[in-house]
Structure formats: C-alpha cells, structure tokens
Amino acid sequence: MKSTSSAPAKVILFGEHFIVYGGKAILCSINKRITVESELTKTSKIEIDSDLGTLDVPKNVDIKDVDSVFRPLVYLAKKILKQDSGVKISVTSEIPSGVGLGSSSACCVAAASSILGLYGKPSKEEILKLAIDAEKTIFENASGADSSICVYGGIMEYSKKGSKGLDLKPKFKLVIANSKVSHSTSQVVARVKKFKEKQPDVFSAICDNEASLIEEALQDLKKNDVKSLGQKMLVNQAHLDKIGVSNDTLDAMLDSIRDISHGAKITGAGDGGCIIALVDDKNMKKTLDSLKKKYECFAVDIDATGVEGGN
C-alpha cells in the first residue's frame, strides 16, 4: 500500500526572530511543494530516498545515531508504523533546502501526513503535532510556526500563544531570490540572543516597534493595500539590520530592487538564504529581471491549500 502527501514551502512576511521573545509573526505558504510517498514493506526497515541522499536502517535504530538530515523522517516512521511493518519513503522537492523557505518543516508535514495515511485519513491536528515533534529532533526550540503554516496554508498570524489563519485573498505576489550564502540558523539565533543580553533596552524598544508594525501590517493585508504593506516590509528589514542578521550580500540584493518592488526584506534566520520582494503584475517582471542578473530567483503565489494527500 502507498500513501502520497505534499506540503508547501513558506515565507515569513513579518516578525522572524522577534517571535522567539514573545512577539507575533505573519507567515504565508507559497506554491512550491515537497512531496512524500510512503509504502509499507515487510522488511522491518526504514528506507529513504531523497534529493539529499539515501538511508537504509533497521526500524529499531536509535534516533540519536541517525544523520540529522534523515532524523525527522526516521522519528515519524518509528512513531507511526505498526509493529511488524517497514516503510519505503521517497521525497521529491521543489523547495531549495537551507535557505529560509521552510523545507525541513514542509518535509516533516508531508511525511507525517503520508505515513499516517498508510493507516487511514489523518486530521490536520494529528499531522501538525507529529510534524512539530519531528522537527524538534533537529531544531530543539522549534516554535511550530513553520509547521503550522505548512499544514494549514494561506496567510497566518502566529505567536507562542497560538495561531490564527487569516481569511484573505491577497492581490500581491512575491519574488524570491536566493543569495546562495550558506548560514547556520542556530548561530544566527545565538547572535540575536547575545545582542539582546548586551543591549536589553535597545532590543526591547525594537520588539515594541516590531509589534506595532505587525498590527499595522495586518490592517494593510485586510485592505489589500500592497504599497503600504511593502513600505512596512522595509521598516521590518531595518529592524532586522539593527539586530545584526543581514549582511553585505543581502543588503546589495535588497538595494537592487528598492525602487522597483513595493518592498523587500530577508525571510527566515538571515545572514544568508533568501530575500522576498512584494510585487504585483505591474512590477513583477522588472523585479525578476533586476535580480536574475546575479541571483537565482523566481516568482510565487500564495498557496491557500496547505498539506494535501494522506490516503
């Protein structure tokens, strides 16, 4: 028996890093997906085939002995499979990995849905709980924000207190450009923590400003005021600059489209990875043309579906 599921990538429109310290974030899913196909076997083994490599281990393997790339998938297989079953897991992705687009969360969500689907139709609540637990095998302090938006899709307001899907029909599109600069999420998060500890009053003021900015951005989203929303993205980027998560390459990318797009900022941890630019039909081509002179870039729409499949 086989079960196939897919889940979308995501971007953070507002609030990355500040969410760790009690703030809100606004996330949206995008129409780039990871697909996971699971098939029951009688081998009592977990076999994985993906763009990042292959794995073939006994089902009783200690999760700590598994390479971090495969650890969430092995965790999910061990958690869900019935006693005598093994599984073959195949992963295909449209999402670049390690660039702030939520590839690991989308994979956890799609895998949870796919493996659960071998035994029946799973609920989104079941999928989300398992996906977050799986993600924590590599990111111990994962907030659950990325997995939540990958499960439910659309645009979401998220904080540690919970999530709220926003029933919106946005008129904007996004252009995503990859800096191809590698970065470590954990190192960037540690750097922000150090900034907070050294300059607590400054950091607190930035958090307050970000909180106000997000409330205003939510109103812009409800009114579909793309130009005003773009200006707020620029302000958000200034906040991220202040806490030290940008760099010269990202700054140059953002400067190259400052007068073309409606607004642009980094998305995710920063210090590498991707930027996002807010565009519409009038300036999307110009934005893409400007960025693709030096960078890998593509346009995306908001994905309103979230996780699909699972039996």
Which two three-digit tokens encode residue 230?
A: 């773009």
Q: Confirm whether 201 is a catalytic residue.
A: no
Length of the chain equals 311
Radius of gyration of the chain (CA): 20
How many whole angstroms separate alpha carbon 84 and alpha carbon 63?
Answer: 19
How many whole angstroms separate alpha carbon 82 and alpha carbon 85?
Answer: 6
Half-sphere exposure of 92 (CA within 13 A, CB side): 5
The residue behind tokens 């998060």 is 189
Distances (CA, A) of 21 to 16, 143, 161, 199, 272: 10, 11, 12, 14, 22
How many whole angstroms separate alpha carbon 74 and alpha carbon 124?
Answer: 20
In angstroms, the first-to-last Cα distance of the chain is 10
Mention every residue, 6+ apart, whose C-beta is less than 8 A from residue 104: 72, 97, 135, 138, 139, 146
Which two three-digit tokens encode residue 102?
A: 């939520």
**Catalytic member of 146, 201, 208, 225:** 146
Half-sphere exposure of 64 (CA within 13 A, CB side): 0
Which two three-digit tokens encode residue 143?
A: 């907030």
How many whole angstroms separate alpha carbon 263 and alpha carbon 275?
Answer: 11
CA angle at residue 103 from 159 to 105, to 5 degrees? 45
How many whole angstroms separate alpha carbon 258 and alpha carbon 234?
Answer: 9
Active site residues: 146
